[in-house]
Chains A and B, each alone.
Chain A
Amino acid sequence: MLKVSGLKKTYITGTFHKCRVHAVNDVSFHITKGQTFGIVGESGCGKSTLGKCVLRLTEPTEGKIIFNGTEITSLDKESLRSIRPKMQMIFQDPDSSLNPRKTLGQSIAEPLKISEIETGRISEKVEELVRHVGLLPEHIDRYPHQLSGGQNQRAVLARALALEPVFIVADEPTASLDVSVQAQILNLLKDLKHEYGLTMLFISHDLELMRHMCDRIAVMYMGKIVEIASVENIFHSPMHPFTRLLLNENENDSEEISCASGISNICCYYNNCPLKTGKCAHDIPYLTEHMQEHFVACHNIKSMHIIEND
């Protein structure tokens, strides 16, 4: 369904001291139809940038994105517009992704206006969508500030579903919500996924959440994917030291991530890695398949297993 290969996004910052920040650095993965693919990582690791690049909301610097057989990285604006309705994005903060001066109904109707639906049927369709996401018809005429964060996020979901997309990027859809509301929204998202047969890219910093939402997970660190595996494998046999740190398996006093720039021929996790060897300092590890469908970017996985067995 979606295939991303060699994706890079480089930002240049600084007025005097130009500095390249590799927000997304040589990332490749694929998502099978109907699956939910999760990307997990700490803030600043490039996961949101990756999500936006996939939809070409920010232009990737390098790499290929193939969506349903079409290479969207080379499309011009016109043809991109024809493919966009099939891919939608849900952002972190529902309050700021809705227009404060439009009622929820108007916001949900917006994508329908540019579609081929006849004007007369729009309000009917809005009502149907609103009911689908668990809101009441009375909410249609309210403004975002009159509703709670959870209700607003439901409206955002309704808007994303308006054009019947096949692929959705959900970028921390519950980051600004309370736990009990988070549970409501995520369960709704799961139900809608089944109902509409959606394929999803789910971005979060919370591994526990992933366990409920995803089929496969990629762990990102400083712009790179360090491990890709099925949910069971990530939780039961995590391999990369960073994944193990996220899962609380190994204790270490790690320094906080500074900046995603820096030298290019060193393993991105070198500074914090408990397993590092001389090889890691001058040879970047690439994602290699260590077990079936379980890819890890680390030189020392084998030695780690030996240590465990001793």
Chain B
Amino acid sequence: MFENLLNVSDLHVRFPTDVGLVNAINGVDLSINSGDIMGLIGESGCGKSVLGLAITRLLQEDAIVNGRINYRGDELHALDKKTMRQIRGKDIGIILQNPGTSLNPVIPIGKQIAEPLVIHQRMKRFAAMDKAVSLLERVKIREPEKRAKEYPHQFSGGMKERALIAMSLANESEFIIADEPTKGLDVTVKKNIVKLLKEIANKKTMLIITHDLAVAEDVCDNIGVMYAGEIVEIAPVERMFSEQLHPYTKGFFESLPARGLKPIKGNSPSLIDLPEGCRFHSRCDHCTERCKKEHPPMIEHEGRHVRCFLYA
């Protein structure tokens, strides 16, 4: 058993585009202990999904990745494609965004869930199909035998999400990455998916990427907040929700309808030419001269971490 199951250090991801290099991730350090449920929150474009894809090496071919991603002692980005393929889907399960587009529309759901079993465990088709049915049952889909033969368009959004969760459970992966598992779902459906995630999370290590604070609060042990490609604050979930240290985190929490609907002024910075100094300085009420020039490091403050000079 490794204490740090996943160790990401100084990760940078850049994408070349017509208008310049997009700095999607800028120096992310993150470690997840075995059995931990880590939540990553942030707004669209902050790089949280890219981080999930970088860990599983599913980024587009031309992405420039620097830094280290260590999973159980293996340097993931140094592995050859074949070994990576054995890890991905087997040791690391993934629940991708948008269940509507992550499933193959012309293959029955059951067969899609059985596929990783056939590939990774060399199960026979029939045995794999039986397992797929029991997985569907485990994610609480009624009449799983009948449903396994149906196609994605016959499933509702919530059921597709359940099917994806079933797929990630197929190989009993130790570590599961869930990218926006509740996006686009209705309130009542969302509640049931969260309940299911909590049941699964019981025995697994998970990285849950979401912009939904309620989901993060409900499921996760630790929360990391991302802004403009870096992590600006990490804390255990109760402490994060009782007090936010970074001005961005504060603003993000307060802009929620349930917490006052107070907006943060201004817009997120362009990832092509990032501002000098603190990435948040132009929107921050506590901005000093130092913030404009110097990029704040991760600072330890009362046992939690925050990237802000206020706590230096």
A interface residues (Cβ-Cβ under 8 A, vs B) = 42-43, 148, 150-151, 178-184, 186-187, 205-209, 211-212, 245-246, 248, 253-254, 256, 258
Contacts and interface: CB of A to CB of B under 8 A. Distances in A.
Q: Which 3 pairs across A and B sit closest by C-beta, in order of nearness?
A: A183-B263, A183-B255, A208-B257
Nearest to B159: A256
Nearest to B41: A179
A212 B261 contact: yes
B175 interface: no
Interface stretch (B71-79, B92-100, B183-191, B297-305): B183-191
Name the residue in B140, B159, B191, B251 with the highest tally of chain A Cβ atoms < 10 Å from its Cβ. Answer: B191
Name the residue in A148, A183, A186 with the highest tally of chain B Cβ atoms < 10 Å from its Cβ. Answer: A183
Given A186-B261, A209-B257, A180 B187 contact: no
A180 B41 CA distance: 13
Nearest to A182: B255
A178 B43 contact: yes
A212 B252 contact: no
Given A180-B264, A256-B156, A211 B188 contact: no
B187 A184 contact: no
Nearest to B44: A178
Contacts of A245: 188
Given A180-B255, A245-B188, A256 B261 contact: no
A258 B158 CA distance: 12
Given A43-B186, A179-B43, A211 B257 contact: yes
A205 B186 contact: yes
A150 B252 CA distance: 16
A206 B257 contact: yes
B211 interface: yes
Contacts of B140: 253
Nearest to A45: B186
B107 to A, nearest CB: 22
7 contacts: A148-B268, A179-B252, A182-B255, A205-B187, A209-B261, A246-B187, A253-B192
A73 B257 CA distance: 36
Given A178-B44, A178-B211, 20 more contacts: A42-B189, A148-B267, A150-B267, A178-B43, A180-B263, A181-B43, A182-B255, A182-B257, A183-B256, A183-B261, A183-B262, A183-B264, A187-B263, A206-B257, A208-B256, A208-B257, A208-B258, A209-B257, A254-B192, A256-B186
B253 to A, nearest CB: 9
A257 to B, nearest CB: 8
A42 B187 contact: yes
Given A178-B44, A179-B211, A256-B159, A184 B263 contact: yes
B251 to A, nearest CB: 6
Interface string B8-44: 0000000000000000000000000000000000011
Name the residue in B191, B257, B268 with the highest tally of chain A Cβ atoms < 10 Å from its Cβ. Answer: B257
B255 A179 contact: yes
A43 B252 CA distance: 26
Interface in B184-202: 186-189, 191-192
Interface in B38-93: 43-44
A42 B189 CA distance: 10
B270 to A, nearest CB: 10
Nearest to B42: A178
A70 to B, nearest CB: 35
A212 B257 contact: yes
Contacts of B268: 148
A181 B267 CA distance: 8
A212 B255 CA distance: 12
Nearest to A212: B261
A44 to B, nearest CB: 8
A292 B156 CA distance: 38
A47 B90 CA distance: 43
Contacts of A178: 43-44, 211
Interface in B139-197: 140, 156-159, 186-189, 191-192
Nearest to B192: A253
B263 A256 contact: no
Given A179-B252, A187-B263, A256 B158 contact: yes
A181 B187 CA distance: 21
A186 B263 CA distance: 9
B199 to A, nearest CB: 13
B58 to A, nearest CB: 24
A180 B263 CA distance: 5
A294 B312 CA distance: 54
Nearest to A245: B188
Interface string B262-301: 1110011000000000000000000000000000000000
A181 B283 CA distance: 13
B184 to A, nearest CB: 8
Contacts of B251: 180
B256 A179 contact: yes
Contacts of B257: 182-183, 206, 208-209, 211-212
Nearest to A188: B263
B258 to A, nearest CB: 5
Nearest to A179: B255
A256 B252 contact: no
Nearest to A187: B263
Contacts of A246: 187-188
Contacts of B157: 43
Contacts of A253: 140, 192
A101 B159 CA distance: 39
B261 A42 contact: no
Contacts of A179: 43, 211, 252, 255-256
